[in-house]
């Protein structure tokens, strides 16, 4: 099955023309055929410029966004917390990515997250609304998810979860750019890129927590970002994922970027003094062949 067939199923289901739940069984590229994963990281105070630096060695935004593409930039805006508290993706990082995608000629750029706290409070207090409102471009759509647009998808390659409700725009995006914030999480120790994809899920997301690592890997078989940019400009070391205490925050002024979602998570884990194999979702996704977790096999470039 190819991507076009899958998108046809999504469209038919959304239009009520088909009772059949869309199936997703597009495989990942076999590890042997893949280029070694490339990962960049950079440190600096100017977050907009930092985005350009990490994107440079990866080929720039033009590598991921073609003219007319439907682009999803998916930050973490899950919590009613301000930027300093490190619970949400830094708004300046998101803004820079959106601007680069627009510059690259994207047909539209969608920014959204299904929040945990009240939607409007999260969008406003995360600083996201302020940061994005300045971009006067009609192609940018920053919106709250619409309940009507979650599509059930059968996850053929899933081991722990067989069906998920996924936001339609996330499925249909030509280019999906994942922009998580790196932070502590009680259950999974850290929340990084794979966990951030939960923001496109509908329904009762809490059940993901029963076997979270494997379920996140299963979700990652469907939501495959072309680019992952992990925001470690400041990281939350404790009382995550929402924090609230500045004593738990450490400023690193760092961004990590990769085309390989597993490699990005694996490297970001080391910023907390942990090893990639300590994060279940990284191990599970690696097991499904979704990316590289062995740091020695990743080409890491300091940009």
Partner 1 sequence: MKIKKRIPAYYWRRASQLACLALFFFLFIRTDYSGSDTIEYAVNVLFRIDPLLALSASVATGFFIVQMLPAVVTLLLTLILGRFFCGWVCPMGTLLDGCHKIVPSKGQGREGRYRALKFYILGFLLVGAWFGLPLAGYVDPFSILVRSLALAVDPALNALATTFFTSTYQQAPAWVNGLTEPLYAFLKATILPFNQKYYDLALLSLAILLVVFLLERLERRFFCRNICPLGAMLAVTARFSLLRGRAGTKCGTCRNCQDVCRMGAIDEERNISPLDCNLCLDCIHHCPGNKISFQFSSLQQVRPSFALSRRSFVGSLALGAALPFFLKSRTLARQSDPLLIRPPGALSEEEFVGRCVRCGECMKVCIGNGLQPAFLQGGVEGMFSPILKARTGYCEYNCTLCGQVCPTGAIKNLDVAEKKKVKIGNACFDLDLCLPYAKGIPCMVCEEHCPTPDKAIKFREVEVENSRREKVTVKQPYLVDELCVGCGICETKCPLPGASAVLVTSAGESRNPAQALPYTSRTGYP
Strand partners of residue 177 = 73, 227
Q: Among residues 79 and 267, whose Cβ is nearest to partner 1? A: 79
CA neighbor of 171 nearest in space, from 198, 150, 146, 194: 150
Shortest separation between residue 172's beta carbon and partner 1, angstroms: 15
Task: Determine if 241 is a binding residue for partner 1 (CB under 8 A).
Answer: yes
Applying CB under 8 A, the span of 26-34, 52-60, 66-74, 234-242 interacting with partner 1 comes to: 234-242
Task: Determine if 125 is a binding residue for partner 1 (CB under 8 A).
Answer: yes
d(CA 60, CA 53): 9
Q: Among residues 59 and 186, whose Cβ is nearest to partner 1? A: 186
What's 276's DSSP letter?
G
- Residues 98-117 touching partner 1, rule: CB under 8 A, are 116-117
Answer whether 65's CB lies under 8 Å from 104's CB: yes
- Classify 211 in phi/psi space as left (phi over 0), alpha (psi -120 to 50) or beta: left
Q: Among residues 158 and 291, whose Cβ is nearest to partner 1? A: 158
Q: Among residues 130 and 156, whose Cβ is nearest to partner 1? A: 130
d(CA 4, CA 236): 40
Task: Determine if 244 is a binding residue for partner 1 (CB under 8 A).
Answer: yes
Shortest separation between residue 206's beta carbon and partner 1, angstroms: 3
Structure token pair of residue 207: 């059940």
Q: Which of 45, 67, 138, 148 binds partner 1 (CB under 8 A)?
A: 148
Q: Is residue 83 classed as helix, strand or coil in its secondary structure?
A: helix
Q: Which of 62, 248, 252, 303 binds partner 1 (CB under 8 A)?
A: 248
CA neighbor of 22 nearest in space, from 183, 187, 215, 171: 171
- Tell me, residue by residue from 7 to 36, as one string, x for binding to partner 1 by CB under 8 A and - for no binding: -------xxx--------------------
CA neighbor of 144 nearest in space, from 112, 122, 184, 102: 112
What are the C-alpha distances in Å from 183 to residues 87, 110, 126, 244, 301?
A: 7, 24, 15, 12, 22
Task: Determine if 182 is a binding residue for partner 1 (CB under 8 A).
Answer: no
Applying CB under 8 A, the span of 55-63, 69-77, 123-131, 282-290 interacting with partner 1 comes to: 123-131
Shortest separation between residue 194's beta carbon and partner 1, angstroms: 16
Q: Among residues 160 and 295, whose Cβ is nearest to partner 1? A: 160
Rounded-to-5 percentages of helix, strand, coil across the chain: 40, 25, 40
Residues that bind partner 1 (CB under 8 A): 14-16, 80, 116-121, 124-125, 129, 147-148, 185-187, 204-207, 209-212, 239, 241-245, 248
């Amino acid at each position: 099955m190819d991507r076009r067939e899958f998108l046809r199923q999504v469209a038919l289901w959304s239009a009520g023309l088909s009772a059949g739940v869309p199936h997703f069984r597009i495989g990942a590229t076999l590890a042997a055929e893949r280029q070694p994963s490339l990962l960049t990281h950079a440190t600096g105070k100017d977050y907009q410029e930092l985005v350009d630096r990490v994107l440079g060695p990866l080929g720039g935004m033009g590598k991921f966004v073609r003219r007319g593409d439907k682009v999803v930039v998916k930050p973490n805006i899950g919590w009613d917390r301000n930027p300093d508290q490190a619970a949400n993706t830094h708004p300046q990082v998101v803004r820079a990515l959106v601007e680069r995608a627009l510059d690259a000629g994207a047909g539209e750029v969608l920014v959204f997250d299904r929040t945990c706290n009240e939607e409007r409070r999260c969008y406003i207090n995360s600083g996201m609304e302020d940061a994005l409102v300045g971009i006067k471009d009609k192609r940018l759509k920053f919106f709250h998810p619409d309940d009507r647009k979650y599509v059930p998808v059968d996850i053929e390659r899933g081991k722990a979860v067989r069906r998920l409700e996924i936001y339609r725009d996330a499925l249909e995006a030509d280019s999906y750019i994942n922009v998580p914030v790196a932070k502590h999480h009680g259950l999974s120790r850290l929340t990084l890129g794979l966990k951030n994809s939960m923001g496109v899920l509908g329904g009762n997301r809490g059940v993901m927590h029963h076997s979270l690592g494997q379920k996140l890997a299963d979700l990652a078989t469907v939501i495959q970002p072309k680019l992952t940019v992990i925001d470690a400009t400041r990281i939350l070391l404790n009382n995550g994922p929402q924090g609230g205490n500045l004593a738990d925050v450490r400023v690193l002024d760092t961004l990590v970027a990769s085309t390989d979602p597993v490699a990005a998570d694996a490297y970001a884990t080391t910023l907390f003094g942990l090893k990639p194999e300590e994060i279940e979702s990284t191990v599970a996704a690696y097991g499904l062949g979704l990316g590289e977790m062995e740091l020695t096999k990743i080409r890491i470039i300091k940009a």
